[in-house]
Amino acid sequence: MTQVLQEKQRDTQRTSPRPDERRLRRIRTIPAVSTIVIAIGLATVAGPLYWMVTASFKTKTEVTALNPTMVPQDPTVDNYTGLITGSMPFTDFFLNSVVTSVVTAIGATFICALAGYSFSRGAYRLRSGFSLSILAVQMLPFAVLIGPLYLLMLKLHLLNTYTGLILGYTTFALPFGAWMMKGFIDSVPREIEEAARVDGYSRLGILFRVVLPLSLPGLSTTAVIIFINSWNNLLYPLTLVTDTEKLTLPPGLMQTFNGQFQFDWGGMMAATTVTSLPLVIAFFAVQKYMVRGMTAGALGGT
């Protein structure tokens, strides 16, 4: 968008040898305005993050000082070591989060891939009915599902277990994940699949050897988004888990820092920084994939 705009400006400047002064000034102010707007937006989003990271390296006195400092005056890693040595079971939280989120991301993505393929290419009567009802279920608010889900897990004796949490996360991830995979699989040209049919491959053979390898960017994007959603999920573990050491990071941090660690701002910032790190890594992993056009070269026109 901006590039197009800039090119247009260059064109205007080139084609009009004696440009109107006022118009020229207006053209020049557009990039300046957009820069300012972007800067404000960035500061709003990144400001708190910056505060979180810097505060996690401040000493107990500095973090609560009346005159806040932009840069830690006396940088320390005590807050981080405190996470491991302290009384709060931070490592348990972390491990619980990693296990449940990673297993959900892998399992749910696999199911989403199968469902997405079916929605994209299946030729059966209920296809649009299925896909639309899945979309409709996704419209239901989070909180509505919590009660029934709790009762289900109670009856199945899955409260306070990884399995219960993973099932819960998966139910939440499936609707949108299946639709997302449908979108990615839609973009795999049918001709490639037909070529594989002519080559003698079955539906599943085509799915695993042609469609999914070509949907790798989609698969990883879906997996990472499911991972991020599971990692950030506060309500499900809060409801389905009652033992403190079985909690994941979001409810864990909320409960512990609201209680005995109430005033340990440094520790809390260190914990939230560590909690954010996997998300940042996950994001950059997807970003790299999204850029790569895997299907380039498959068809004549591209």
Partner 1 sequence: MTSITLRGIEKTFGAETALRSCDLVISDREFLVLVGPSGSGKTTLLRIISGLEQATNGEIYFGDRLVNDIDVGDRDIAMVFQNYGLYPHMSVYNNMAFGLRRRKIPKQDIDRKVNEAAQMLGIGALLHRKPRQLSGGQRQRVALGRAIVRDPAVFLLDEPLSNLDAHLRTQMRSEILKVHRTVTATAVYVTHDQVEALTMGDRIAVMSDGVIQQVDTPEALYDRPVNRFVAGFIGTPPMGFLPGAVRRQPGTTKVTGEGLHVCLPSDLAGALPAGTSEVVVGVRPEALRLVADSFTEDESESWLQGIVDVIEPLGSEKHVLLTSAGVGLVAKLPRTSQVDVGQKITLAIEPTGGLHVFDADTGVALRPEDRR
Q: Looking only at residues 202 through 241 of this chain, which bind partner 1 when binding is defined by CB under 8 A?
A: 202, 205, 209-210, 213-214
Least Cβ distance, residue 220 to partner 1 (angstroms): 14
**200 or 259, CB closer to partner 1?**
200
Q: How many C-beta neighbours within 10 Å does residue 253 have?
A: 22
Give the separation between CA 224 and CA 232, rounded to whole angstroms.
Answer: 12
- Find out whether 237 and 161 touch, Cβ atoms under 8 Å: no
- Work out whether 201 is an interface residue with partner 1 (CB under 8 A): yes
Enter the tokens of residue 22: 């006022």
Q: Residues 273-302 vs partner 1: string with x where CB under 8 A?
A: ---------------------xxxxxxxx-
**CA distance linking residue 239 with residue 235, whole number of Å:** 6
Residue 271 burial (CB count, 10 A): 27
List 197, 263, 280, 281, residue binding partner 1 (CB under 8 A): 197
Binding flag, residue 186, partner 1 (CB under 8 A): no
Q: Is 128 in the site for partner 1 (CB under 8 A)?
A: no
Q: Toward partner 1, which CB reaches closer, 20 or 199?
A: 199
Is 90:267 a contact under the CB 8 Å cutoff? Answer: no
Query: For partner 1, which residue of 78, 95, 189, 276 counts as binding (CB under 8 A)?
Result: 189
Nearer to partner 1, 129 or 205 (CB): 205
Closer Cβ to partner 1, 211 or 286, answer by number: 211
Which range, of 16-24, 189-197, 230-238, 256-264, touches partner 1 by CB under 8 A?
189-197
Separation of alpha carbons 146 and 195, rounded Å = 46
Tokens of 23: 């118009």
8 Å CB contact between 77 and 294 = no
Per DSSP, 158 falls in state -
Q: What amino acid is encoded at 37 in this protein?
A: V
**At 18, which amino acid appears?**
R
How far is the C-alpha of 193 from the C-alpha of 191, rounded, in Å?
A: 5
Site for partner 1 contains 191 (CB under 8 A): yes
Stretch near partner 1 under the rule CB under 8 A, chosen from 56-64, 159-167, 188-196, 223-231: 188-196
Q: What is the DSSP letter of 211?
A: I
For partner 1, which is the closer residue by CB, 141 or 300? 300
187 part of the interface to partner 1, by CB under 8 A: no
Q: Name which of 111 and 195 has its Cβ closer to partner 1.
A: 195
Nearer to partner 1, 132 or 216 (CB): 216
User: Closest separation between CB of residue 302 and partner 1, Å?
Assistant: 8
Residue corresponding to tokens 């940042």: 280
CA–CA dist 249, 257 (Å, integer): 11
Q: Please count the residues of this chain forming the interface with partner 1, following the rule CB under 8 A.
A: 25
Is residue 237 a contact partner of residue 247, using CB atoms and an 8 Å limit? yes
**Contacting positions for partner 1 (CB under 8 A):** 189, 191-192, 194-202, 205, 209-210, 213-214, 294-301
